[in-house]
Structure 1
Amino acid sequence: MVEHVSIAIDGPAGAGKSTVARIVAKRLGLLYVDTGAMYRSVAWLAVRFGVRPSDELGLTRLLDEYLLGFERDPALGTLVVRFQNQDITPELRSPEVSGIVSQLSVHPLVRERLTSIQRSLRRDTGVVMDGRDIGTVVMPDADVKVFLTASLDERARRRAEEITAAQGREVSEVSIRKSMAERDARDSSRDVAPLRPAADAYILDSTGKSIDEVVDEILRLVRESVK
């Protein structure tokens, strides 16, 4: 049944995972889990309490001491991140958080704690989850696995447009491209849960494709999987 289907969408930064996953989840009436927001919440704690992103034990102590809440927004079907009963979701896209999240996401202890939470979220409901290790580590038994990618130039252009629209300021595509290339290298070469397609993932290159085209292709895969 579609209401219990699990969909894993992995891929590099700027491939459109979050946008596509959110729409797919809404179209199917499933819970959308943005795992990137979970790692950003750890980065948010690090910024708030002055813990270096390289301090793995310090970061895990923050997670143990300051319990973050991950709740479903009943109206939107997405996760809300709470700290001490306050919704901090809008703060997770700040430049300070964005600047360190990829550095702390390499730590095994951080990933272990967040992976446990991510798995718990799909126990009682269908889910669309996006990230970098969903199909390989978090949900290796997902009904549908998609590795969503795009050319580096395309991803940099999209991210530049996204930042301009959100913050009203022009940004350099060249600098974004450089930053993305560096993150691709870090994510793909890390020892724990490296970025790579699952062996049975459907590789979907979104270069030159509209959001609707990508969404429709994933929905087609879902329909075929639940026949």
Structure 2
Amino acid sequence: MDKAIIAIDGYASTGKSTLSKMLSSHLGLHYIDSGAFFRGITFLALEKGWINNENIYQEAIELGLKDIKIYYNTSDNKLILNEIDITDKIRSKLVSSNVSKIAKLPFVRFFILKQQRLLGNSFGLVMDGRDIGTVVFPNADFKFFFTARPEVRAQRRWEEMKASGYFLSYEEVLKSLMNRDKVDTERKFSPLKKANDAIEIDTSDLSLEEAFTILITKINYK
């Protein structure tokens, strides 16, 4: 199990990140939040003016990627960009509202894909995202796909945002999630979809402990 690769894909607010962390800790594997990479590039693009409300300057982004160093420190789950810890800066509302625009760019996904596979070649890990089992690690030892009803996911996200000091209505959060789903599933390059050999888990009516038990049971059974 030391070198095992576990791919967990799924929709936003299905619990996949929390469960991935729980699973990696339980199995003694490294945890990689693949979404952090995309958020890091989005943060940089916003800082540099490569993206705004009206435009995405793709050429500037593509050129800019040649001069950056980004990596994920698995010892403390920190995202490091050009030797600076930006972990606390990539969860802002501004980054969240723009990350899907960056994530759909093929050259960005290819750039991050190389970083992800380097990590997978180095040690066993649990990685969550939207194309981990289909594109990043198609030969992963275990693959899971998380889903949940949209209204349940929106409620979860709304409660998380309230706790973090962001005050949007439930309706706004639901609309945002539905828009994100549309972008993720309809993009041409690496769309969100269930791998043919992935185990699907619907977390709509499951507690974290119940979902975790299912994960461990499936892994032990295999």
| TM tier relative to shorter chain | over 0.9
Determine the C-alpha separation between the residues in 1 that align with 2:15 and 2:61: 28
Alpha-carbon distance in structure 1 between the residues aligned to 2:126 and 2:9: 11
Superposed, 1:1-227 pairs within 5 Å as 2-52=1-51, 54-73=56-75, 76=76, 78=77, 80-167=78-165, 169-225=166-222
Contact 1:11 1:149 in 2 (8 A): yes
Contact 1:188/1:194 (<8 A) preserved: yes
Range with bigger deviation, 61-70 or 122-131: 61-70
SS of equivalent to 1:113: helix
One-letter amino acid matched to 1:224: Y
Gaps of 5+ in 2: none
Q: Secondary structure at the match of 2:94?
A: helix
Q: TM-score, normalised by structure 1?
A: 0.92
Deviates more, 1:61-70 or 1:208-217: 61-70
Q: So what's the TM-score if we normalise by structure 2?
A: 0.94
Q: What is the CA-CA distance between 1:204 and the residue it aligns to?
A: 0.3
- Cα separation, 2, equivalents of 1:18 and 1:67: 24
Q: How many residues align?
A: 219
Shift of 1:175: 0.6
Residue 114 of structure 1 deviates from its aligned partner by 0.2
The one-letter amino acid paired with 1:59 is I
* Aligned-partner Cα distance in 1 for 2:60–2:221: 45
Deviation at 1:62, TM superposition (A): 2.1
Amino acid at match of 1:179: S
Give the ranges of 4+ consecutive aligned residues of structure 1 lying more than 3 Å apart after TM superposition: none
Secondary structure of the residue that 1:182 maps to in structure 2?
A: helix
Q: CA deviation at 1:138?
A: 0.3
Cα contact 2:151–2:174 (8 A) shared by 1: yes
1:100 alignment partner, SS class: helix
Counterparts of 1:222 and 1:127 in 2: how far apart (Å)?
14
Alignment RMSD: 1.3
Quote the Cα distance in structure 1 between the aligned partners of 2:18 and 2:130.
Answer: 15
Task: For residue 140 of structure 1, report the CA deviation from its aligned partner.
Answer: 0.5
Contact 2:50-2:58 within 8 A present in 1 as well:
no
Q: Distance in 1 between matches of 2:21 and 2:64?
A: 29
Residue identity in the other structure for 2:213? D
Structure 1, unaligned runs of 5 or more: none
